Structure 1
């Protein structure tokens, strides 16, 4: 599928992805995949690549992609968030693909972007360490110059698909500050393990580096900050989709659950909960759309928009997931119901790339409060 820039083309993209996921990634399938060894369905991932062209969505046309950007990427992630779809898409396309495309490193883009676009390469970005901090300035992993490039040493935690990705883009500290370094996942000096995660629909890994060979990608600290901004904007889009799914589920249940001979949705307390949640989800969607729009270029507003979207969308998804469980009552707490999966996603993604409080603090710094 070739993406465009018009509203009609973007809505066509949304409709196509929604139909595909409704058919190939229903709740029952998600539950099967989250318990499998792979964590996703390779056949469905292949169809996403071949039939919809999603792997190349945000990759320039000269590298085999369709030339889209954060806006088109946000549309797909919103739809994936609605269904908690387990897939290499987020790590490979939203994280690594965007990082490479924004790097300005022509050699790195030519080497890896075509393989990402055709689905033959999975990739991810590794930033956080055992301290749990996602701030580039807190990175302790070391990058040492070597005859053949660089050597990396250190431990990375909470790496999305870190235990299985073919390519790792690792944030490590060099002489000029934190930078991004490409490491082949199967190379010597790389030890990877899967972590037990709260969210079973998203796999996280631990990556230990002991003199692993690496190639530098892009510049120093400002570029790493750009990579993180693009990541939180992508995550915000996914969170909006999941929050919308929670709202939809709560409203539908309120229509059919009868108490005292009336649907519970007719009670004022439930109406107010749903109405308040609708306002919050729509506000989150606006924040996400704005962040995606300004991230499509080199706007100086991107850091502010990214911090705002990260803080607000995380909070809204958590509230939506909790309200969904509350409105469902006892059944919402059971393993058989999907409500708990959305709460798990909410609490897990709330801490990815920094907690909401950290993004609020950064936002305050950026606007001079």
Structure 2
């Protein structure tokens, strides 16, 4: 594969980076996070640009682009830590696109593509989905259950808001009151959702790496920048290695979604496993580089660390995805895609 973006993909990345930098400056992100709310005006602006429907086919009022373009947007959203319900809405759209009936797609995808009908996805275990992003503002909730799934109107679910360590996104515990409308094989959607979360983790890693390098250049000890000392510079180099490796595996999986779909299950599992670990490794290493200031509420680093920690648990942990890599490589027992 070619890791170079096309001109259109580069334009999407530039536009996203510039817009999110303007709309979600650190103070704005912090204000929304501390209030544990979203700004509907920001979501409306992103919707007017067509972001929620970037991967939805034109027949259902989307832009008809692919998983690479979705990953580009998701990385920039992770970089800015934008408090918007993009990931949850995209997850629902992917589930309906790749596993929904014609009737379900016709009913829900136009609204999801326009940003007017918000959706989300949860993973059932023991009869409930324990960590569902943005369920309290969703109209449609898709619940996966070991390779299968069903679509539920939010009004037909019990939604219990949760307080988590991540103040930049809202979560809830969800229990379905009925059986819902069944989906087909959710594996293609599960894989693409994993790619989207991995891309968000890459954006988090990139932002935190830049924070760390900037601090290491400016902070002085013994009349020298701390970045001049090998203990710090080597840690930053390791952070760069992990960030770029996570980006490479994520882009490979995003590319495979359309170009080589038979490779996608393995690539997506590898990407989510690696990016989940990288998110924690890079953000916790940044804590060491920044020292005492990194532990304070006043510094933004903790927001990124907490989002990375929760993202690692969303839609399969690193260990679950490593088990799937082993199974797909013929090295372990079979593990369902949406276990």
TM-score (norm 2): 0.92
Q: Is the 8 A contact 1:124 1:159 kept in 2?
A: yes
User: Which of the residues 271, 279, 287 maps onto 1:309?
Assistant: 271
Q: Following TM superposition, by how much is the alpha carbon of 1:72 offset from its aligned partner in structure 2, in angstroms?
A: 0.3
Q: Equivalents in 1 of 2:44, 2:10: separation in Å? A: 23
SS where residue 283 of structure 2 aligns? helix
Deviation track 1:260-283 (CA, whole Å, cap 9, x = no partner) reads 111111112211111122122111
Q: Equivalents in 2 of 1:102, 1:333: separation in Å? A: 42
SS where residue 241 of structure 1 aligns? helix
1:77 aligns with 2:95: no
Deviation track 1:107-163 (CA, whole Å, cap 9, x = no partner) reads 21111111111121000112133xxxxxxxxxx54xxxxxxxxxxxxx321011112
User: Which of the residues 90, 109, 117 maps onto 2:105?
Assistant: 109
- Out of 162-171 and 240-249, give the one that drifted further: 162-171
Map of 1:1-369 to 2, 5 A cutoff?
7-36=6-35, 39-50=37-48, 52-93=49-90, 95-103=91-99, 105-129=101-125, 140-141=126-127, 155-172=128-145, 179-187=148-156, 190-211=157-178, 214-217=180-183, 219=184, 223-297=185-259, 299-369=261-331
TM-score (norm 1): 0.85
Q: How many residue pairs were aligned?
A: 328
Q: Equivalents in 2 of 1:70, 1:48: separation in Å? A: 18
Q: Equivalents in 1 of 2:205, 2:252: separation in Å? A: 17
Q: Following TM superposition, by how much is the alpha carbon of 1:89 offset from its aligned partner in structure 2, in angstroms?
A: 0.7
Deviation track 1:88-111 (CA, whole Å, cap 9, x = no partner) reads 110002x01111111262221111
**Change in CA separation of 1:104 and 1:351 when aligned onto 2, cut-off 3 Å:** closer
Structure 2, unmatched stretches of 5+, are 332-339
Q: Is the 8 A contact 1:128 1:158 kept in 2?
A: no
Q: Following TM superposition, by how much is the alpha carbon of 1:298 offset from its aligned partner in structure 2, in angstroms?
A: 6.1
Q: Point out the structure with the larger helix share.
A: 2
**Change in CA separation of 1:178 and 1:251 when aligned onto 2, cut-off 3 Å:** closer
